[in-house]
Chain A
Amino acid sequence: MAEPMGFYTDTTVCIGCKACEVACKQWNQLPARNGGVGVLSGDSYDNTRALDGTHWRHVKFVEQFGADRQDGRWLMMSDVCKHCAHAGCLEVCPTGAIIRTEFDTVVIQSDTCNGCRDCIGACPFGVIGINPVSGTAQKCTLCYDRMKVGLEPACAKACPTKSINFGPIADLKQLARGRVGQLHEAGEGRAYLYGADETMLGGLNSFYLLVDKPEVYGLPPDPRLPSRNLKRSALWSTLGAVALTIMGVFHFRERGGRHV
């Protein structure tokens, strides 16, 4: 297996230009929404709004303003599939369409997916969606086709501020820790890494440098695998099945005894 590869996104240098979104859509030939007619969100400068089957990169605009708009803060974050070491989507996929590649990334094989959408509900980050053209679930592949020939993913290539860094995970972690230290020294004590260590789903192969709580960026504070509920759900259902069987035997036998 090749060295695990991924993204480290430094949100403090993202300027919200959306070049990554455009590069991703161009390289992956993702279709336009609404026949190419622009639809304004109406309450934000961000009109993409969310990751889905045709938006595999999305620059989130966190626009925090007071009621009088005198004071405000912009946070920007280029969001993408996290390529989790323990991936919920891969766990539930009933067709085997979702695979782990030799780069330790998670890819949906569009020719195998049948569009059951189980992976969409299983993803703790809400990154997967249905591509209406293919009728299958789709998300970032970390540009698997480009990686195979030694190229970096289109979004990282296009990013003008080096907010999106691509490379071997070990190198990225070193780079990210250095940057956190630099920010702390500069007085930005809130800087921390989200998903860089193994406590979060075994480690995210796309991790982030944030300066506020994950919820502020629309990220879950405690993402977990869907299978956490499997054993207990199955146990309760089994107990219910036993209870119903006993009830049935009791009611049907009782009468049998009376009438035979």
Chain B
Amino acid sequence: MSSTFFTASPEWRWFIVAYFFLGGLAGGSYFLASLLDRFGTERDRPLVRLGYLVAFPIVCLCGLVLTVDLGRPERFWHMLVESQTWRPMLKTYSPMSSGAWVILLFSGCAFVSFAGIVAERGWPRWALLRHASPDARFGRLVSGAGAILGLYLAGYTGVLLSVTNRPVWADTTLLGLTFLTSAASTSAAFLILLGFWSGLSRERLHPLERFDRSALILEVLAIVALVASLGRIATVWLDGWGMLLAAMVLGGIALPLLLEWRGPAGRPAWIGPTLVLLGGLMLRMVIIFSSDRL
């Protein structure tokens, strides 16, 4: 038996599931917006704006959820500052410590881009905000840094789980990759859904749909590699959680890919992206809760 089965559960539950999902959406949406901003065309601007606009509120929600989950929420700042010396608190080899800093820095980037996009609409008319726009030199710099931090935010949560001693989590090194690819697919699906709701034509959403297809394929490969890397330990999933994982792969990855392949005719456009989003949430539920009970 793996030595990981002799440990105690940290009892990370729904707040952490929510954070892992939302963190992926915030980081992934910002990353996609930044990439579309640099390599897309003027026709992609509405999607770019959507990505920058949603990242900041979602990462604020992440901070809130994480704080509420603490045993002593009023001490959330101890993650960033040593409470007794007032020196910065950073352990580069602790994913939770580096993650806390990344959330802070990413929030800063997301706020600048959010403010820049809001100011493009003419309010508030502060001269300083002109520099925040992703079209301005400073805004572009922030957007590039934010894209890298966003990727970090989307993937470090899986690394954090692997850097424990818990069953399943610490028995593989592929959780970071799995969460990262899942964050990419769910973020693309999220922006596609928002695009539909804001009245963008199907054609304008094509680049994101193509990206989503590739991300879903990468995600299923990561999940297969994850299960293979667990070896005999994967047998713990011969239960309800394993069935949920199988349902996630079939309903949250295979079915949306099939729907994409068959084309848009005769079905509501929101079905595929919604399934991808539900799949991303289920993946995190399975990974967290299946270890919690062991």
Contacts and interface: CB of A to CB of B under 8 A. Distances in A.
A binds B: yes
Interface of B: 1, 3-12, 31-32, 35-36, 39-41, 43-44, 70-73, 75-76, 78-79, 82-84, 89, 91, 93-97, 100, 151, 155-156, 158-160, 162-166, 169-170, 173-177, 180-181, 184, 206-207, 210-211, 214-215, 218, 222
Given A114-B75, A135-B72, A227-B93, A255 B218 contact: no
B142 to A, nearest CB: 18
Interface in A230-251: 230, 232-234, 236-237, 239-241, 243-245, 247-249, 251
Given A236-B174, A255-B206, A259-B43, A218 B163 contact: no
B173 A236 contact: yes
A117 interface: yes
Contacts of B11: 117, 120, 130
4 tightest CB-CB pairs across the interface, nearest first?
A115-B71, A220-B3, A237-B176, A126-B8
Q: For A221, A227, A241, A247, which residue has the most chain B Cβ atoms within 10 angstroms?
A: A241
A42 interface: no
A118 B159 CA distance: 13
Contacts of A221: 1, 3
A259 B10 CA distance: 51
22 contacts: A52-B8, A113-B78, A114-B73, A114-B75, A114-B76, A116-B71, A126-B8, A130-B11, A134-B72, A135-B72, A136-B72, A221-B3, A226-B165, A229-B170, A233-B174, A245-B151, A247-B211, A248-B31, A249-B35, A252-B39, A252-B44, A256-B39
Most buried by A among B7, B70, B151: B7
By CB atoms of chain B within 10 A, which of A93, A137, A220 has the most? A220
A234 B10 CA distance: 22
A135 to B, nearest CB: 4
A201 to B, nearest CB: 11
Contacts of B36: 248, 252
B83 A124 contact: no
Given A94-B89, A244-B181, A126 B7 contact: yes
A95 interface: yes
B94 A260 contact: no
Contact of A256 (B41, B76, B94): B41
B180 to A, nearest CB: 5
A117 B71 contact: yes
Contacts of A135: 71-72
B185 to A, nearest CB: 10
Given A91-B91, A118-B94, A237-B177, 6 more contacts: A114-B70, A120-B11, A221-B1, A240-B218, A248-B36, A252-B36
Classify chain A: how many residues form its interface, as a range.
Answer: 35 or more
B40 A255 contact: yes
Given A129-B8, A224-B165, A241-B151, A91 B94 contact: yes
A233 B175 contact: yes
A253 B39 contact: yes
A180 interface: no
A223 B7 CA distance: 10
B202 to A, nearest CB: 13
B94 A233 contact: no
B72 A113 contact: yes
A171 to B, nearest CB: 29
B35 A88 contact: no
Contacts of A125: 6-7
A49 to B, nearest CB: 12
Contacts of B84: 112
A50 B166 CA distance: 16
Given A224-B165, A229-B163, A259-B43, A121 B9 contact: yes
Interface in A152-187: none
A241 B155 contact: yes
Given A136-B72, A226-B163, A251-B210, A117 B10 contact: yes
Contact of B176 (A97, A224, A233, A260): A233
